[in-house]
Amino acid sequence: MSYVIDRRLNGKNKSTVNRQRFLQRYRGHIKKAVEEAVGRRSITDMEHGEQISIPGRDIDEPVLHHGRGGRQTIVHPGNKEFVAGERIPRPQGGGGGQGAGQASNSGEGMDDFVFQITQEEFLDFMFQDLELPNLVKRHLTGTDTFKTVRAGIANEGNPSRINIVRTLRSAHARRIALSGSSRAQLRALKAELERLRLEEPHNFGDIKAAEEEIERLKARINRVPFLDTFDLKYNLLVKHPNPSSKAVMFCLMDVSGSMTQSTKDIAKRFFILLYLFLKRNYDKIDVVFIRHHTSAKEVDEEEFFYSRETGGTIVSSALKMMQEIMAERYPANEWNIYAAQASDGDNWNDDSPLCRDILINQIMPFVQYFTYVEITPREHQALWYEYNQVAEAFSDAFAQQQLVSAADIYPVFRQLFQRRMTS
């Protein structure tokens, strides 16, 4: 007798725990592979998993087994030309078929162990040990959204929230409580009446008195209302403040003539990395793209990265625009504001002190974190040194780094967001 059972709906992923244990154990290897991959791939396909390869010998589970050597006799199938007693030269390097039986024994561990991790796991490893600075703000501010949660039962409320079961239960309890003594008397009287009717059927006076008393008690019991106002119970809903986890990310980029397409590519990679990282921390993210040469303009993504402009550079125009947009659309008590600025460091010299002032007075007090990357192999110019002062004033919310080539992006990114010890 056989039973046929459909198990397809049973949990799959029974191996999830084991898989995680494995990844945990080899996280060193995997992290290295991920870092290499980040440097190698185009940032636009960050959203894939990655093939990880770990040297076989690092992952072997050792057992006692025979090594090569000694006298080994092995039976093989498929003889073609050998005759008994024949001597044949030993094939070199395990080639030919003769050594294959052993080769699979001892050679197995030498291949790399290759496997795939998912995108989720890939990003996990990519952003491991990184954190968004000043996250604490979102718990303190931005609490003007609420969610209602059930919080038990209350005596007051709105009729649509009546809890019928609890109401009737309480009405029932009240009726029992209020009519308890009358019912006890009623039971006693009824027994008395019964006795009177049997034992003294002619004692009409007492019987009548008892009957009247019974009627009176019944009326009294009936006067207890079935439902009273204070029986009513309501489901209580209370509002819990819902910490806002909205973030806005400002991407500021210089598109003046000095920015080449490759510089912009580097900037783009940096922005995408930041975007992916923010996405892991916040439910909702707005991205605002501001590009500037001598004047700033809010644009969409496509235009931001690909349209070409020429001309001089006035960085403060972008900062001003960012400040305006912040004031208009992203009040700091509701939004976590992050900003990343990319530039090749060129600026109209008189403008740099202005940038510093705008940052210090109008932007930095409201943002969680402002990163500035300067993509240039050359000497720093005025902007960098002015920004140094900003960094001094807001050491925990402002960071600047220099990028030279695409390979620096990830290390610099890690540097900017590495987990700090909170003092």
Partner 1 sequence: MKRQPISTGSEWTFDLIRQYDREIGRIAERYALDTYPNQIEVITAEQMMDAYASVGMPLGYHHWSYGKQFLHTEKHYKRGQMGLAYEIVINSDPCIAYLMEENTMCMQALVIAHASYGHNSFFKGNYLFRTWTDASSIIDYLVFAKQYIMQCEERHGIDAVEDLLDSCHALMNYGVDRYKRPYPISAEEERRRQKDREEHLQRQINDLWRTIPKGADKGDGQAGNQRFPAEPQENILYFIEKHAPLLEPWKREVVRIVRKIAQYFYPQRQTQVMNEGWATFWHYTLLNDLYDEGLVTDGFMMEFLQSHTSVIYQPGFDSPYYSGINPYTLGFAMYQDIRRICENPTEEDKRWFPDIAGSDWLTTVKFAMNNFKDESFILQFLSPKVIRDLKLFSILDDDRKDELLVPAIHDESGYHTIRELLAAQYNLGNREPNVQVWNVDRRGDRSLTLRHMQHDRKPLGASTDEVLKHLHRLWGFDVHLQSMQDDKLVNTHHMPPRASNEAETDSRFPGMNFA
Q: Residue from 35, 98, 130, 364 that binds partner 1 (CB under 8 A)?
A: 98
Tokens coding 211: 């009957």
Q: Describe the crossing of helices 164-199 and 204-223 by its angle, rounded to 10 degrees.
A: 180
Alpha-carbon distance 350 to 343, whole Å?
Answer: 17
Torsion of the alpha carbons at 301, 305, 309 and 312, rounded to the nearest 10:
100
Q: State how far the Cα of 381 lies from the Cα of 237, in Å rounded to an integer.
A: 59
Distance of alpha carbon 245 from alpha carbon 135, whole angstroms: 10
Which residue carries 């046929």 as its tokens? 4
Task: Give the tokens for residue 81.
Answer: 């030309």
Q: Which is nearer to partner 1, 53 or 389 (CB)?
A: 53
Stretch that binds partner 1, among 93-101, 132-140, 162-170, 410-418 (CB under 8 A): 93-101
Is residue 202 a contact residue for partner 1 (CB under 8 A)?
A: no
Minimum separation from the CB atom of position 98 to partner 1 (A): 5
- 97 binds partner 1, rule: CB under 8 A: yes
Q: Which of residues 46-75 bind partner 1 (CB under 8 A)?
A: 59-75
Using CB under 8 A as the binding rule, whether residue 332 contacts partner 1 is answered as no
Which is closer to partner 1, CB of 85 or CB of 205?
85
For 376, the token pair is: 């240039």
Residue 93 binds partner 1 (CB under 8 A) = no
Q: Which range in 2-10, 180-188, 237-245, 290-298 contacts partner 1 by CB under 8 A?
A: 2-10
C-alpha span between 144 and 80 (Å, rounded):
85
Comparing CB distances to partner 1, the nearer of 105 and 203 is 105
Give min distance, CB of 55 to partner 1, in A.
Answer: 13
Q: How far apart are CA 241 and CA 233, in angstroms?
A: 25
Say whether residue 119 binds partner 1 (CB under 8 A).
no
CB of 47 to partner 1, least distance (A): 19
Considering only residues 45, 87, 156, 421, which one is a binding residue for partner 1 as defined by CB under 8 A? 87
165 touches partner 1 by CB under 8 A: no
Contact flag: residue 44 with partner 1 (CB under 8 A) = no
Amino acid at 6: D
Non-local (6+) Cβ contacts of 313 within 8 A are: 254, 256, 258, 292, 293, 294, 343, 346, 347, 348, 351
Residue 12 token pair = 């799959």
Q: What does the buried/exposed string (b/e) look like for 34-62 if buried means 16 or more CB atoms within 10 Å of the residue's CB?
A: beebbeeeebeebeeebebebeeeeeeee
Name the token pair of 207: 């019987």
Using the rule CB under 8 A, is 92 a contact of partner 1?
no
Out of 44, 45, 88, 229, the residue judged to bind partner 1 by CB under 8 A:
88
Measured over the CA atoms of residue 144, residue 149, residue 155 and residue 158, the dihedral's sign is: positive
Report the nearest approach of partner 1 to the CB of residue 40 (Å).
Answer: 20
Measured distance between the N- and C-terminal CA atoms of the chain, rounded to whole angstroms: 70
101 is a contact residue toward partner 1 (CB under 8 A):
yes
Minimum separation from the CB atom of position 113 to partner 1 (A): 7
Minimum distance from CB of 39 to partner 1 (Å)?
Answer: 23
| Dihedral sign, Cα of residue 360, residue 375, residue 325, residue 284 | negative
Interface region with partner 1, contact rule CB under 8 A, candidates 10-18, 167-175, 243-251, 396-404 = 10-18
Q: In whole angstroms, how close is the CB of 28 to partner 1 at the nearest point?
A: 14
Inter-residue contact 233 to 163 (CB < 8 Å): yes
118 binds partner 1 (CB under 8 A): no
Residue 4 engages partner 1 in binding (rule: CB under 8 A): yes
Question: Which amino acid is it at 104?
Answer: S
Min CB(94)–partner 1 separation in Å: 11
Provide, rounded to whole angstroms, the least separation between the CB of residue 303 and partner 1: 39
Nearer to partner 1, 98 or 389 (CB): 98
Binding-site residue total for partner 1 (CB under 8 A)? 67
CA dist., res. 321 & res. 290, Å (int): 8
Q: Which is nearer to partner 1, 14 or 308 (CB)?
A: 14
Interface residues with partner 1 (CB under 8 A)?
A: 1-8, 10, 12-15, 17-25, 59-80, 82-90, 96-101, 104-106, 109, 113-116
